[in-house]
Structure 1
Amino acid sequence: MTLLRPCAFLGAGLAFVLWSGTAGAGGLERDGYNIDLLFEPGFATEATATYVNPQRKLNNVRDTNPDNGIGSNGIGGGPANGVKPASDYWIPRIGFKAGFGENIDCLANYSQPWGVHSDPGPNWMGANDNVETKVNSHSYAATCSYKFQVGPGQLRFLGGLSYQELDGFQERLVAPVPTMTGSNLFGNGIGRLDMAANGTGWRIGTAYEIPEIALRASLVYNSEVKLDKVYGTLDLRQIPGFIRPDNPFLGKSTEVTSSAVMPQSLELRVQSGIAPDWLAFGSVKWVQWSKLQSILFCSEATLAAGPCTHKR
């Protein structure tokens, strides 16, 4: 599992940036979109929870930006090997499905399609990059379908809507702070960004089924979810202003805002019975992660002066 990497530019404009590369963005996907319950006959329910315990560790960690200090204490502190960046987590899913007559089926379900939790802590070589990052999601969806006989099986067309809520935070060592007798009298140098947003999306698809042999092929498109208003709070109260007197954000908490798009996707799933009590299945999925390369947060005052730009 890859992690969402935070960085900060402490100039007079930009406050914080959430960044994930094209490959790393996929680390945000957890349960994705699952509507398999829709294809069950009659009335059906589902309540599942999957536990994930990542075992990935980082070795040979190097601080690539010495301008804001190196390591956990600014002079190379903290381990560079054996760092476990990802925390364990649960993935719940709940669904209720009902059939209406012979042709119509509907599904209402709750899931957590996106999420990440990285908690390497403040004492490692990459503390300037990440102390803790967590993103949660909650998706409430309704999907209905209409099916009719075609040849030996049934052709189905489906569509639905979803409402998604996202929230999370990031903490990182913004700058090492001078200590007095080993205490954090002036602060611990850690900045925190909290964020929350919501948006709606839709899905459309088709499927062909031959129930007698458990054959099903489905193609489902899920739209992007536009988060037009991402609200956030940038807390830099643990970084005293005397470190950078020209920076108006240090030593205070600032309301920030942004916008983002959760990516659209297209998934083909195929399954078939191959012997009594045996089922073969597979899927191919495309997700437009290029739409979620970065989430740039700016203060309201900065937006009033003009659009935000990121300069490292």
Structure 2
Amino acid sequence: MRATFHLKTLTVAVAALSVASVASAAGLDRSGQDITAFLQDGTYAETVYTYIDADVSGKDSSGNKIDDIAESYDFFRYGVKADINDTFSIGILYDEPFGAAANYSGNNNFVDQNPLSPRNGEGTNVEVRTESITGILGAKLGENKNLQVYGGPVAQRVKADVKLRGEAYSVANGYTLNVNADQDYGWLAGVSYSKPEIALKAALTYRSEIEHTANSAELYPFVDSLPIPGLSANRSGDIEITTPESVNFDFQTGINPTTLATAKVRWVPWSDFAITPGLYNGFSQVLATLPQGTGIPPEGLDLVSYDKDQWQVELGLAKRLTPALAVSGNIGWDSGAGDPVTSLGPIEGYYSAGLGAKYNITENWAVSAGGKYLWFGDAEGQIPSKTVVSDFEDNDGFALGVKLSYQAKQNFN
């Protein structure tokens, strides 16, 4: 007799996988831009908290020790979804998709060691934060409503602060960039397919790039040491930052009436991404014409850029132990965005292993918790001129998450 894989019970298991299931290391990727809250059945709402702590340490090109530069960070994700009728669904999602948090300290080439400098003792620092709100409208198609198309607008806010300090950055020692918060808009579109009798769900989601034009302020102390017409050490003006497009594939299927297999695949073209401040780029174009500018292209330098695209894969299993309790496990791989890579984030992807559990408090309310261990890939850190200035090996980290969720069936008969 053929087994029926009831979604109501199997969802207890699969939901445990979505807590702390993404903790990306490539480029500026953070949340993984998960939309699975919208793909849940009936009325659904979730609040997810994720905490990530990494140990990223190494040596500079002089052999000096670089203590852990990765600042711990946390973020929230929210999702609400409801069916208008048996055809149309709406949802609103909030997440923090991209970001960076790194801080150098100690006695190394990324800390200003000049006792005559007003920045003496200051270390290289970067902080990037983004927030996104996504509205989604979905329409189920076909006689059995197995196929769904969905899409909607995305509002995104971005801000950034970067400080380059120490002799590793040569003449750029002391450079500072402040990017004020800017909000702009993009879109999302996707298609999903479900087959409830075997608990199968598959979804392919595309998110557009979002072009930001933000107010920024730059300080480049070395500029004033050269009499260059049209350039001064201070500049205020607009900067264009385009956050990348992405493609997510989410899949699950029942193996038996109490067990699910899941897979996630994500692609982000970080090789197309760059942060190019006007003063920093303009001065590098001048340097390209001087003997000390050997290797700098005529078009100047980006402050941050990446050489390769990111691929991320995660595979998992979830098992319902009792009607109220389920456990899960997953393994993952992230390709990173190249090596050597920017000294502001010297990691070449990771391997990961995670565990999670979900407990149904009531028929509608549940709490989930999960953790993941990350083995980071070794990487060489480079400055924008592509000069390798550091080496990072044998680093790791962990991610912890907790989720509170509500789900209720809607009946339109």
TM-score with structure 1 length normalisation? 0.70
Q: 1:197-236 residue pairs with structure 2 within 5 A?
A: 197-227=182-212, 229-236=213-220
Q: Which residue of 1 aligns with 2:151?
A: 159
How many residues in Structure 1 have an aligned counterpart in Structure 2? 247
Q: Which residue of 1 aligns with 2:61?
A: 62
Q: 1:30-109 residue pairs with structure 2 within 5 A?
A: 30-59=30-59, 61-62=60-61, 80-109=64-93
What CA RMSD, in Å, does the superposition of the two structures yield over aligned residues?
3.0
The CA deviation string for residues 119-144 of structure 1, in whole angstroms up to 9 with x for no partner, is 1137422337x710010001011011
Distance of 2:154 and 2:107 partners within structure 1: 40
Q: Does the 8 A contact of 1:58 with 1:85 survive in 2?
A: no
Deviation at 1:240, TM superposition (A): 8.2
TM-score with structure 2 length normalisation? 0.54
Q: Does the 8 A contact of 1:175 with 1:190 survive in 2?
A: no
Runs of 5+ in structure 2 lacking a partner?
1-23, 113-122, 283-297, 302-384, 386-413
Distance of 2:175 and 2:256 partners within structure 1: 57
Distance of 1:25 and 1:272 partners within structure 2: 28
Distance of 1:285 and 1:53 partners within structure 2: 22
Return the letter of the residue paired with 2:197.
Answer: E
Q: Does the 8 A contact of 2:43 with 2:81 survive in 1?
A: yes
Distance of 1:198 and 1:26 partners within structure 2: 23
Deviation at 1:222, TM superposition (A): 1.1
Distance of 1:131 and 1:42 partners within structure 2: 48
Deviation at 1:39, TM superposition (A): 1.6
Higher relative contact order (CA 8 A, sep 6+): 2
Distance of 2:66 and 2:259 partners within structure 1: 41
Q: Does the 8 A contact of 1:122 with 1:131 survive in 2?
A: no
Q: Which residue of 1 aligns with 2:368?
A: none
Q: Does the 8 A contact of 1:85 with 1:118 survive in 2?
A: yes
Deviation at 1:175, TM superposition (A): 6.9
Q: Which residue of 1 aligns with 2:253?
A: 272
Distance of 1:277 and 1:118 partners within structure 2: 43
Distance 1:143 1:122, change over 3 A: farther
Deviation at 1:82, TM superposition (A): 4.4
Distance 1:209 1:92, change over 3 A: same
Distance of 1:150 and 1:268 partners within structure 2: 24
Q: 1:1-312 residue pairs with structure 2 within 5 A?
A: 26-59=26-59, 61-62=60-61, 80-121=64-105, 123-127=107-111, 131-149=124-142, 154-173=146-165, 190-196=174-180, 197-227=182-212, 229-236=213-220, 239=221, 244=225, 246=227, 249-250=232-233, 253-292=234-273, 294-298=274-278, 309-310=299-300
Q: Does the 8 A contact of 1:261 with 1:291 survive in 2?
A: no
Distance 1:39 1:95, change over 3 A: same
Distance 1:191 1:82, change over 3 A: closer
Distance of 1:82 and 1:192 partners within structure 2: 21
Deviation at 1:254, TM superposition (A): 2.5
Return the letter of the residue paired with 1:140.
Answer: I
Q: Does the 8 A contact of 2:163 with 2:177 survive in 1?
A: yes
Deviation at 1:203, TM superposition (A): 1.3
Runs of 5+ in structure 1 lacking a partner?
1-23, 64-78, 177-188, 303-307
Distance 1:105 1:162, change over 3 A: same
Distance 1:212 1:101, change over 3 A: same
SS at match of 2:38: helix
Distance of 1:29 and 1:241 partners within structure 2: 33
SS at match of 1:53: strand
SS at match of 1:158: strand
Distance 1:206 1:240, change over 3 A: closer
Distance of 2:154 and 2:263 partners within structure 1: 25
Return the letter of the residue paired with 1:90.
Answer: D
* Sequence identity percentage: 23
Distance of 1:246 and 1:83 partners within structure 2: 38
Greater Cα shift, 193-202 or 142-151 = 142-151
Q: Does the 8 A contact of 1:266 with 1:285 survive in 2?
A: yes
Distance 1:255 1:175, change over 3 A: farther
Deviation at 1:208, TM superposition (A): 0.5
Deviation at 1:212, TM superposition (A): 3.5
